[in-house]
Structure 1
Amino acid sequence: MHRFTLSHWWALLFILFFPFLMMNLYSDFIRESEMNSRLGWLVMLGGFAYLARHHVYLYRFLLLILIFITLSGAMDLLYAVTFGGVFTSASFEAISQSDPREIYEFLTVYASYENVVLLLLYLTISYLLLKRMLVKTSLMRKEKVLVGLAIVMFIVAIVEVQKRNRVFDTIPGFNGVAIDYLNNREGFEQSIQAREELDTQTDFSASSRDIPQTYVIIIGESMNRNHMSLYGYPRATTPMLDAVRSDLIAFENIVTPYAQTAASLRHVLTEANTDNQKDINQSVSLMGVFNKAGFETWWLSNQQPMRMPFAALAKTADHSHFISHDFHGVEVERYDGYLLPYIQEAVQAPAEKKVIFVHLMGSHLDYNNRYPPEKSVFKNRDKLQAYRPDVSDSQASYINSYDNSIHYTDEIVGTTIADLTTVSNAAALLFFADHGEEVFDTKDFKGHGPDGVTASMLEVPFIVWRNSAYRETFPDVDQIMANHTGQPGLLDDVFHFAQCLTQVESSLYDAQNALCSADFQPRKRIAYGQDYDTELKRKAP
């Protein structure tokens, strides 16, 4: 037993998994890849230790790797205990924007007996284990198998990094996110610069009516319209939208061709769509159109600041704010409601013509992290709908959490509408989601993605609220929208719809792709090579 406690396996287990244990105890959010990557490194380093046992330089190299992993684990532990979360790109973004004095003040403010004691305990035990670590001198057959497995896993890790370009899925904790951040930072800045040059230097025209106007475009996340009472769901998941139903135009037949955020918004927020197949990097953005048309623009977000394409759009807006910076990048207890003061400030800003983009975290997994516990409304099986009536308690719990997240999103949208009612000039709000979500609606599955795509992943809400001043200013557009609520539409036409809604005159505008135009022409709706209307559409009961 004593020999085992000195073995390299015990040292590796402690160094890799004690921080992981603390992350699980103190954080509600852990990346799904975190456990797999730590297990992989346990096998790789354990196998490498056998190879290094007779070679002093290889052994020192192993110790150097373990020291780096120990320091990474210390950062993971400290962050989890202090902030109740894990490192993200937003964490490093915030650090990069801080000077040494701010960092010193930050450390002194958040230092506590709890995090200091746990940190010292981890570092002390790690030091003692590494100092006395033993590696067997002779190899048994099972240990030779581990060496071979370690080599295979090392090759797989390299292939995965090259294939997915996501280091943090392969290298656990702080080190993986840090490497990913440093690797992507230069390309990230170049992408932003390219977007700025494209939107400002491309030869296109855009102008707008010279009257006061206020528009809010809210982008939801993972929202299946079939879970909204506004669209007929039996649970009252959207009470605030239901209360203003007479002032809404709810389009009933809009689908997204992509069940992934980045793929969807690359097309939704630029002139590229599934028909024209334009290169995203050569497609002018909706933000660029509004900027050129003379609107003051905002980008307010509860998503990560270093994700494309919305990171570049945020940089090209006149004003931008990611609330992840206010929460040190932590994704738990960072609810969309924290965006409301920023939305209210933008709505009340003195600019005569403004467009305010709001990007929510919405109903992104894990659903129960998307709303405050006191906002939990659905807790039993009352009016619960699923692919079969006898779903398990676990499945019912996920459906309840998902419906609660939609109920909370309704509160954010409804509160913003209430703020807009105080605006005397023409004002409108457009709300849609990047994609839907399968939550045991049609099969035993929760989530979204290109594999095994279902109608629930594609069917999204598409809602317009407008005040009386807007209806009086643009009566024709208002009437056409009301007449087109049942028309089959694609979400990647938002680029044209938003210009039509705001009556921007642009050389990039195509009336045939705008649901609020009399010239609108439905397009074939293809998602991942499948025809939505003939292959994926939900059959009427």
Structure 2
Amino acid sequence: MGINYGYPDVNAVGSLMYTDNGESLEYIAGLPFKTYLYLAGLLVFAGCALLMKPLKKRHQRIALFTVFFITAFWSSSKDYIQGKSEGFVSVFRSGLPEIRFFRDSYESYEEIRKDNLRYAKVIETSDHWNPQVTETGYDTYILVIGESVRKDFMHAFGFELHPNTPWMSSRNGLFFDNYISASGSTTLSLTNALAVREKNVTNLSDNLVSLANKAGFHTYWISNQHMKGIYDSPVGIMGKKAGFYHFLAPNRSDKGGPDEMLLPFVRDALAEKKGKKLIVVHLIGSHPQPCGRLTENFDKFIGSRNISCYIKSIENTDKLLSDIAEMAGQDKQRWTMAYFSDHGLLFVDKGTENTNLTHGDSMKQNFQVPFFITAFDAQSQTRITHFRSGLSMLPLLSQWMGIKEPKLESDCDWLRDTDCAGQKSVVNFKNELKSFDSLAEDNPVLP
């Protein structure tokens, strides 16, 4: 992991806590080829070390240990002696990789553990909403959350190598050409997009579902992602605030299936004759490795097998969106549907026959994802070219749903092509705000 992402951080440890065994294997399968070369080299060196004769003389062992200790702790010990550090414990804040790995792992784990103690109280904690509902012309709001979709791999947003979004490309609605996700991983992105973030702390009790509940909506959360790993997923906790929730694979050891398995539950939610409804559908779709989730082979080979499966997985999501819209239309409801992806991906082994995609936070394409809103009565295609950030998703969705909430008040008209302040920030894997403009490009290079 360190070769590809650096030292352990909140995202890395959080992914370990919230993920399942299948996703862990998929992560390993998606590592760059160079990673396996490094591991092979380490095994060779380890084997050579085992074959070496140990030092027999005591003074030689002491001398070797002294060299190691001075090298590892010289800088931090010097700062302590000169009074430049905060106490003796700071001596162990050495930059030595072996020490820093365990230190960063422990500190990140402690942060995750404390967050989960706080998250565990969310179900019993009251929200702080005071909403008013205005008429929008719609009664049924369908929010589909995609998984790991880069915007530049969708035909509706300019991908030219394969028409993999026939429904969306021809559908009237709002296309957000410069929407950037809140973060580069599912948990960090969706907690920051769908709950209130104040001073770098996410208040999980004040989330989209609790807002809709307070506004009198009937709420549904239908998910193809796990509700818990070692800990309850923060995203799953938000989902459990819904009046009805269903997870295809609730526990770490459970195995889900294709996203199409969600459709019967969506159909049941649409069929219920109630007032205003919010139906959230959380997909697994294009999560690395997509070949393992396809129920049929890809139609066209593009670049590599992994990329071909990825492009096909996006086509499957487009078909699912079409099916949901058709079901909503059959019930003659006044419906509107929004679709966005939680985050994008970056290339590994770019330009080779092993070209693949994986998680990251260092590239613009980790955050450049699709966002699209349509409705039963959408009259034309409108492009929103100004930037919109996932960190502003909650006020945007509240405007979409016709909910006025003092905590979410803004001068921005989110659903019109107007310039809004503060829309170029993202959250990196250390849970810190970072400028989107400072990130590098990761443009496709296919063999």
Task: State whether structure 2 residue 237 is matched by structure 1 residue 237.
Answer: no
Task: Give the match for residue 193 of structure 1.
Answer: 121
Aligned pair in 2 of structure 1 residues 326, 192: CA closer, same or farther (>3 Å)?
A: closer
- After superposition, the C-alpha distances for 1:1-48 in whole angstroms (9 at most, x for unaligned) are xxxxxxxxxxxxxxxxxxxxxxxxxx8972657999xx9xxx9xxxxx
CA-CA distance at 1:250 after TM superposition: 1.4
Unaligned 5+ segments in structure 2 are: 1-21, 44-51, 66-95
Q: 1:456 aligns with which of 365, 369, 390?
A: 365
- After superposition, the C-alpha distances for 1:98-119 in whole angstroms (9 at most, x for unaligned) are xxxxxxxxxxxxxxxxxxxxxx
Task: State whether structure 2 residue 255 is matched by structure 1 residue 346.
Answer: no
Task: Give the match for residue 315 of structure 2.
Answer: 407
- After superposition, the C-alpha distances for 1:182-222 in whole angstroms (9 at most, x for unaligned) are x97x98576243354142xx253343549871011011111
Task: For residue 299 of structure 2, give the secondary structure of its aligned residue in structure 1.
Answer: coil
Aligned residues: 359
TM-score by length of 2: 0.68
Task: For residue 288 of structure 1, give the secondary structure of its aligned residue in structure 2.
Answer: helix
- After superposition, the C-alpha distances for 1:381-401 in whole angstroms (9 at most, x for unaligned) are 4xxxxxxxxxxxxx6222111
Q: Is the 8 A contact 1:254 1:488 kept in 2?
A: yes
Work out which of the two has the higher radius of gyration on C-alpha atoms and give 1 or 2: 1
What is the distance in 1 between the residues matched to 2:208 and 2:307? 34
What is the distance in 2 between the residues matched to 1:210 and 1:445? 42
What is the distance in 2 between the residues matched to 1:460 and 1:298? 24
Q: 1:310 aligns with which of 235, 258, 261?
A: 235
Task: Give the match for residue 84 of structure 2.
Answer: none
Aligned residue identity for 1:464: I
Aligned pair in 2 of structure 1 residues 198, 377: CA closer, same or farther (>3 Å)?
A: farther
Task: Give the match for residue 336 of structure 1.
Answer: 259
Q: Is the 8 A contact 2:384 2:417 kept in 1?
A: no
Task: State whether structure 2 residue 106 is matched by structure 1 residue 162.
Answer: yes
Structure with more relative contact order (C-alpha pairs < 8 Å, separation 6 or more): 2
Q: Is the 8 A contact 1:489 1:522 kept in 2?
A: no
Aligned pair in 2 of structure 1 residues 522, 483: CA closer, same or farther (>3 Å)?
A: farther
Aligned residue identity for 2:106: Q
Aligned pair in 2 of structure 1 residues 352, 365: CA closer, same or farther (>3 Å)?
A: same
Q: Is the 8 A contact 2:387 2:420 kept in 1?
A: no
Q: 2:375 aligns with which of 455, 466, 485?
A: 466
What is the distance in 1 between the residues matched to 2:252 and 2:263? 15
CA-CA distance at 1:448 after TM superposition: 2.1
Aligned residues: CA RMSD: 4.2
Task: Give the match for residue 18 of structure 2.
Answer: none
Task: Give the match for residue 294 of structure 1.
Answer: 216
Q: Is the 8 A contact 1:512 1:519 kept in 2?
A: no
What is the distance in 1 between the residues matched to 2:344 and 2:293? 16
What is the distance in 1 between the residues matched to 2:416 and 2:163? 32
Q: Is the 8 A contact 1:221 1:435 kept in 2?
A: yes
What is the distance in 2 between the residues matched to 1:189 and 1:257? 23
What is the distance in 2 between the residues matched to 1:250 and 1:496? 18
Q: Is the 8 A contact 1:439 1:446 kept in 2?
A: yes
Aligned pair in 2 of structure 1 residues 466, 537: CA closer, same or farther (>3 Å)?
A: farther
Task: Give the match for residue 285 of structure 2.
Answer: 362
Aligned residue identity for 1:231: F
What is the distance in 1 between the residues matched to 2:340 and 2:216? 24
Higher strand fraction: Structure 1 or Structure 2? Answer: 2
Task: Give the match for residue 146 of structure 2.
Answer: 220
CA-CA distance at 1:240 after TM superposition: 2.5
What is the distance in 2 between the residues matched to 1:232 and 1:519? 22
Higher helix fraction: Structure 1 or Structure 2? Answer: 1
Task: Give the match for residue 506 of structure 1.
Answer: 405
Task: Give the match for residue 446 of structure 1.
Answer: 357
Q: Is the 8 A contact 2:129 2:214 kept in 1?
A: no
Aligned pair in 2 of structure 1 residues 514, 285: CA closer, same or farther (>3 Å)?
A: farther
TM-score by length of 1: 0.57
CA-CA distance at 1:293 after TM superposition: 0.5
Aligned residue identity for 1:414: S
Aligned residue identity for 1:355: L
